[in-house]
Amino acid sequence: MMTVTETGKGNAQIRDAICAHADWKRRLSECIDKGALEKTADEISRNDQCAFGQWLASLSTDPDDPSMEKFEMIKGLHARFHREAGKIAVNVEGGDRSAARELYESPGFRRLTNSLILNLNDWREDFRDILNR
């Protein structure tokens, strides 16, 4: 396992994660409309199935690495995002597009998604600051 600053990829990984999760959320909405998923609900609910989740799992939590201050919070938000998206996907798999849409458009899912993106942006700024020192 490596720390983020050792890999030198923190900024790019987080940028890619922000773009990928925004795109993924759009595709989930399209899947609700179609009534068919690109992956199973089980896969969607697991936070280690996307590239960002795999990258997070590869990191060590070195307490002396300042880029890791937000690591646990980001990891938790990311896991919650996938769990909630998995609940939406279960409804799509079960043919209940209305329930899936209701969960997708719920204030809770919207807040969770926005919180993840905002915190990823903050974490990305931390990496930029470290790299510019």
CB 32 within 8 A of CB 41: no
Using one digit for the tens of pLDDT, what is the confidence trace for 58-81? 877 666 766 677 888 899 999 999
pLDDT, mean of residues 125-132: 65
What DSSP character marks residue 67?
A: G
Task: Classify the C-alpha dihedral 91-108-72-25 as positive or negative.
Answer: positive
Kindly list the domain boundaries of the chain, sorted by start residue.
4-131
Using one digit for the tens of pLDDT, what is the confidence trace for 75-116? 999 999 999 999 999 999 999 999 999 999 999 999 999 999
CB 29 within 8 A of CB 21: no
The hierarchical CATH code for the domain 4-131 is 1.20.120
